[in-house]
Amino acid sequence: MTEPAVVAQPSLEQLRAEAMEWAQKPRRRGAWYVTEHMVRAMRAYGWTIVVSGLGQPIVYLLGVAVGLAALIQAPIQVAGQEVSYLVFVAPALLMTSAIAIASEEFTYPVMSGFKWRRYFFGFNASPLSSPQIATGVVFGATARMAVVAVAYAGFLYLFGAIPDLSRGWLTIFVALLAGLAFGTPLMAYAGSIEDDRGQFALVQRFLFMPMFLFSGTFYPLATLPLWLQWIGWVSPLWHASELGRYLTYGPPIAPAMLFVHVAYLVGLSTVGYILARGVFERRLAK
């Protein structure tokens, strides 16, 4: 009669190693779990996303294409190149749509995660680190910006506002970069707010609106007096709009200025993200 085979029992160290491996699995993709939550949460206000993300820019586009452009018969001259008013203003409207979304996703949802719904603390109680939570918030907002940017670029093409589609599609990525350049510093600020006293309304009135009006959106920045041009120089909207115009209809831009535009947007996005990560680490450690 054969004796039953003896099954080797795992040692305590092996059990600990397996437990640590399973515990670390969510952490490896932690940012994507947060991203999934943020995107799923957007479904609760999906129609608001559609109306605010596409409706308002399309109204602007129709107003420019059907109304204002019909009155402005003379072409716009930029760097010695003539272009129709619609083609001139369209890239700026695309960048504005992404920045407008960033101003929404990086304000109240961030404060809600810390103060009202406090789901960031729930994330942090699981095997998710605070940098992963911050990264997931950025990814979630970027996903919403990407959907709107792609759809809006399609409308621009249908209206003939993107003459050169071979490079014009790259404006979608410029729009995302513009949204992050404005949004990540705003995310750091929103995460640092303990109580809502109307700070975000002030951001809209005294930061977003002046940037929208005085960043060369509806007319070349050089037409403004010098004491107002500095708003465009420090605005991510102007830098992104200049890149968008270069990609859609190709006005001449010095290589040094192309570098400045890209470096400024990347620099703002990076610094804002680093600051936001620090804010998340500090608040979630309490």
Residue 66 has pLDDT above 80, yes or no: no
Residue from 167, 156, 179 nearest 90 by CA: 156
The predicted pLDDT at position 161 comes to 87
Whole-number pLDDT of residue 47: 75
Report which of residues 122 and 57 the model is more confident about: 122
Q: How far apart are alpha carbons 8 and 22 in whole angstroms?
A: 21
Confidence band of 70 (pLDDT split at 50, 70, 90): low
What DSSP string runs through 175-214?
HHHHHHHHHHHHHHHHHH-SS-SSHHHHHIIIIIHHHHHS
User: Is pLDDT at 4 greater than 60 in this prediction?
Assistant: no
Which residues make beta-bridge pairs with 76? 83
How many other C-beta atoms lie within 10 A of the C-beta of residue 228? 13
Residue 175's Cβ-side half-sphere holds a number of Cα atoms within 13 Å equal to 32
Report pTM: 0.86
**Residue 83 bridge partners (DSSP):** 76
Which pLDDT band, with edges at 50, 70 and 90, does 80 fall under? low
3-state secondary structure at position 225: coil
Averaged over 238-258, what is the pLDDT?
A: 92
Does the pLDDT value for residue 44 go beyond 60? yes
Bridge partners, residue 78, by sequence:
81
pLDDT of 178 > 90? The answer is yes
**What pLDDT is recorded for position 131?**
93
Query: What pLDDT is stored for residue 76 in this prediction?
Result: 73
Residues ≥6 apart with Cβ < 8 Å to 119: 37, 112, 113
Domain residues of the chain, as ranges?
Answer: 28-284
**Interval 180-205: pLDDT, tens:** 999 999 999 999 998 888 899 999 99
Segment 115-119 mean pLDDT: 90
